[in-house]
Structure 1
Amino acid sequence: MSVFGQLVGQQRVVATLSRAAGHPPSMTHAWLFTGPPGSGRSVAARTFAAALQCEGPGTGAGQRDGATEEVAGEAEPGPGCGRCQPCRMVMAGSHPDVRVVDTEQTFIKVAEARELVLEAQARPSLGRWRVVIVEDADRLNDHSANTLLKSLEEPTARTVWMLCAPSLEDVLVTIRSRCRHVRLGTPAADAVAELLVRRDRVDPAMAHYAARAAQSHIGIAKRLATDEHARARRREITSIPLGLDSLGAALRCAQDLVDEAGEGAKATSEDHAAEQRRDLLEQLGADPAARTQPPSVRSHLKRLDDRLKAEARRQQHDSIDAALTDLASVYRDALLLATGARGVGLINTGEPEQIERLARSFTPEGLLQALETIGTARQRLIANGAPLLVLEAMMIGLILPRG
């Protein structure tokens, strides 16, 4: 199956990328993939990278000077066959000429941007192109973005940049003006469910529930379909609105959300930190079992600890943001019910009584205000607001009206 089969409900995007990969001389040197969360921005970039490196029939493989071969009557799959070794290596993340930047920090630092620029100047070592994928281009600040500008304006002949961001407005104008824009849309829930059944062998009923509850976010849908703890956690989140009947309840809910996100981030980071520390000591030739380390080694360990702490904070924020998305879906469903909207399906179809009670508790204007309150909290978290204070303010704003 073609690597583009992983792009769900994105036929127009697949056509654009397939056409570009099949004609290297007309390739654009910089691409910007945008779309809402779960639309598959990073998947589109990776599959495009695989198609560029593909050595399947009809791709002109082996022509590293930019020339391609036209094969008359070629009936085999085009670029991105999914079967050749380069395709498999790119999708597995092991191709030496495809660099993927997936930062866990709030911003991509200048030092990392300089490293990418140097790497982009090198010729491909194995494949036909050197590809640099920046999955979080919206985290480029002014300084790191300016570091990339020169390379985007005057790239080397066989280098392709692929930047990913939620929207054009999330990327500095100086960056987006130098890229070819590819916009992905939110796939239909049925298409996501079909992917889970076909790719992950999920039961069809569970796949449709997960796709709908995840609001077509493919990664979250897979987790909901395969992890009972994730489903239980989502049920806890969606039950919050009717429990916000007092100031004390609001403050407790805020604390619970922060604690749950912190514990999850800590559990994940502890194992990761131990592995990273051990690998670093081995690379430095130090003894991992030693009680004390030389000053030079301690300085490296200090930098590692700082990076891991930043990763843990980011993971905690992401966990809270996912919870707020689920919370907003409940108020959204209640608003649809309160206004009698037709032709729009509910997200939380498994809790009809809860949605009806919430719709009776608020006026439509109150439900709109609740959605705005949650949106404000998400923006404050993005701006590095203290999670507990942000959530306390939000929960207080969501307290049920008296009577």
Structure 2
Amino acid sequence: MTVFDDLVGQEQAAAVLQRAAAAAAEALAGGRGAGMTHAWLFTGPPGSGRSEAAQAFAAALLCPDLGCGHCDMCHQVSVGSHPDVETVRPQGLSYSVKQTRELVLRASGAPTLGRWRVILFEDADRATEAAANALLKAIEEPPPRTVWLLCSPAPDDMVITIRSRCRVVTLRTPSTEAIAHVLSTRDDVPFETAEFAARATRGHIGRARRLALDEETRRRRDAVLALPRTLTGLGQCVEAAERLVKTSSEDAEEATAHLNEAETTELRKIYGEGSTGKGLNKGLVRGGAGAIKDLEDRQKSRATRIKRDSLDVALLDLVAFYRDVLAVQFGAAVELSAEDRSADLEALASSSSPEDTLRRIDAIMLCRERLAANVNPQIAVEALTLSLWRPRL
């Protein structure tokens, strides 16, 4: 077992990374190290394991045995405690230039343990234009022992100046069989359930695991896929949109409420709230008002991101459902992600035309674009449900 064995269905990418890790070890020993570079871009569809591949590569760079998977170095990387690995996970809608400059400054330090200093930047495509320019300067002139591992869905999501300076590792969507095997062997999920989850999530490993293990996740998916047959009138369309938006808001509230409170309490303590002494408490809290306002803005951005991601999962489930409807209409011999709802697929396929189905899919994709452009979620989703009800309007 090595750290690369956890990459599901990514044998080709794993082989590239293993060779690069060996080249990195050669470079440390004074050799040429051909095949190793200081900047990498991991791309692939959602759920393909971009961050996992980058983390495995980080472990291989820092492990004396090139990612054995069981030594202290590999364990520290896997749990996020290695002093020479910094993982950046943008929680808001974007990653600012201020945050990027602070990151670049930290990345310029020498490695603590003498091998490499690794910066693993998840969702690097969320960097603003100014942040991308700041990142470009660091990638153009990196310290000799710093390695940048950037992750984004596609190479084109990164500005061309950064992309051209990185070695691209492209991951593919894992097969249903590969994901089902992992769920059944590593998570002890019954094979039928594992196969259902893998098929329903269309190769997204993380979602497949949640769907297989969490009953609430399955309930929510069922509610989303039941939506098309409930759209029988204008009132039902508005109600359905309200339910979708409300569910996404509840997800954001559940994910952020406790964290927001802890962060705010900690920051207030730092700025002296609760301290004793004449004038001390009042003065320090006032001095920290700007920091508290910045924290609240970041928390609001994080909640908006979670809400948008929750809605996007529902929309992608609907896209997959109508894709299955189209497959039934054409009699295509393809794997159906919503095979468990065959009755609904058959009913909708027989009561509409392929042109209607394509219009519905286009309406869902347009809704995703509108949400990404900060259109009011309620308005965007109401427009969607109306289009799903009457695709020719």
> Residue 159 of structure 2 aligns with which residue?
172
CA distance in 1, matches of 2:178, 2:262: 38
1:395 maps to: 385
Read off the aligned partner of 1:297 and give its amino acid letter. G
- Per-residue deviation at 1:278? 2.9
Does the alignment pair 1:367 with 2:369?
Answer: no
Instruction: Give the C-alpha shift of residue 298 in structure 1.
Output: 3.0
Mapped to 2, the partners of 1:330 and 1:268 lie a distance apart of: 27
Please state how far the C-alpha of 1:401 moved relative to its aligned partner: 6.8
Give 1:147 shift.
0.5
- In the alignment, which residue of structure 2 is the partner of 1:66? none
Deviation of 1:256 (Å)? 0.8
What pairs up with 1:225-236 in 2 under 5 angstroms? 225-236=212-223
SS of residue paired to 2:340: coil
Q: Is the 8 A contact 2:271 2:287 kept in 1?
A: no
Aligned to 1:80: 67
Could you tell me which residue of structure 2 aligns to residue 135 of structure 1? 122
Determine whether 1:255 maps to 2:242.
yes
User: TM-score by structure 2 length?
Assistant: 0.93
Write the deviation string for residues 304-358 of structure 1: whole angstroms up to 9, x where unpaired: 111111100100000000000111111111100001112x111111111111011
Local SS of the residue matching 2:144: coil
Q: Quick one: which amino acid aligns to residue 157 of structure 2?
A: D
Distance 2:20 2:391 in 1: 56
Aligned equivalent of 2:16:
16
After TM superposition, the runs of 4+ consecutive aligned structure 1 residues lying more than 6 A away are: 288-293
Q: Which residue of 2 aligns with 1:3?
A: 3
- Map 1:231-242; keep pairs closer than 5 Å: 231-242=218-229
User: Does the 8 A contact of 2:136 with 2:162 survive in 1?
Assistant: yes
Distance across 1 between alignment mates of 2:260 and 2:113:
32
* AA in 2 matched with 1:129: W
Pairing 1:123–2:110 present: yes
Q: Following the alignment from structure 1 to structure 2, what is the Cα–Cα distance between the partners of residues 370 and 2?
A: 45
Alpha-carbon shift at residue 141 of structure 1 (Å) = 2.0
CA-CA distance at 1:282 after TM superposition: 4.1
Identify the residue that residue 43 of structure 2 maps to in structure 1.
34
| Structure-2 change in CA distance of 1:288 and 1:164 (3 Å) | farther
**In 1, distance between residues paired with 2:133 and 2:289?**
32
Cα distance, 1:400 vs structure 2: 4.9
Aligned AA (1:35): G
Letter in 2 for 1:2: T
Structure 2 spans left out of the alignment, 5+ residues: 28-32
Query: Measured at CA, do residues 203 and 306 of structure 1 come closer, stay the same or move farther in structure 2, by a change above 3 Å?
Result: same
Name the SS for the 1:22 alignment partner.
helix
Equivalent pairs: percent with the same residue?
A: 45
Q: 2:298 aligns with which of 266, 290, 307?
A: 307
Instruction: Report how far residue 277 of structure 1 moved.
Output: 2.0
1:264 to partner: Cα distance: 1.4
Q: Is the 8 A contact 2:272 2:281 kept in 1?
A: no
Q: Which of the pair is proportionally richer in helix?
A: 2
Residues 400 and 359 of structure 1, relative CA distance in 2, 3 Å threshold: farther
Greater Cα shift, 180-189 or 264-273:
264-273
1:69 is aligned to: none
Rounded Cα–Cα distance in structure 2 between residues aligned with 1:214 and 1:89: 30
Partner in structure 2 of residue 64 of structure 1: none
AA of the residue aligned to 2:197: A
Partners of 2:3 and 2:68 within 8 A in 1: yes
Q: Of 264, 272, 279, which aligns to 2:251? A: 264
Count of equivalent residues: 379
Q: Are the equivalent residues in 2 in contact too, given 1:278–1:288 (CA < 8 A)? A: no
Q: Does 1:332 align with 2:341?
A: no
Residue 44 of structure 1 corresponds to 53
Render the CA deviation track for 1:82-104: whole Å, top value 9, x for unaligned. 11111111111111111111112
Amino acid at match of 1:36: P
Aligned letter for 1:161? W
Describe the SS at the equivalent of 2:130.
helix
Preserved CA contact (<8 Å) 1:117 1:151:
yes
Unaligned runs of 5+ in 1: 57-78
The amino acid that maps onto 1:262 is S
* Contact 2:17–2:57 under 8 Å retained in 1: yes
Over 3 Å counting, the alpha-carbon distance change for 1:250 and 1:274 in structure 2 is: same
Q: Distance in 2 between matches of 1:385 and 1:10?
A: 37
Contact in 2 for aligned 1:18/1:51 (Cα 8 Å) = yes
Cα 1:304–1:192 change in 2 (3 A) is same
Which secondary structure does the structure 2 equivalent of 1:335 belong to?
helix
CA-to-partner distance for each residue in 1:149-191, whole Å, 9 max, x for gaps?
A: 1111111110000111111111111110110011100000111
Aligned 1:52-201 pairs, distance under 5 A? 52-56=61-65, 79-126=66-113, 128-201=115-188
Q: Does 1:216 align with 2:179?
A: no
Q: Which moved more, 1:112-121 or 1:273-282?
A: 273-282
Name the amino acid aligned to 2:386.
I
Q: 1:280 to 1:288 in 2, by over 3 A?
A: farther
> C-alpha distance in 2, partners of 1:123/1:241?
56
Asked if structure 1 preserves the Cα contact closer than 8 Å seen for 2:325 and 2:349, the reply is yes
TM-score (norm 1): 0.90
Paired amino acid for 1:29: H
Shift of 1:229: 0.6
Counterpart in 1 of 2:30?
A: none
Counterpart secondary structure, 1:197: helix
Letter in 2 for 1:339: F
1:348 alignment counterpart: 338
CA RMSD of aligned residues (A): 1.8
CA contact (8 A) 1:237 1:327 kept: yes
Contact 2:359–2:391, Cα closer than 8 Å, also in 1:
no
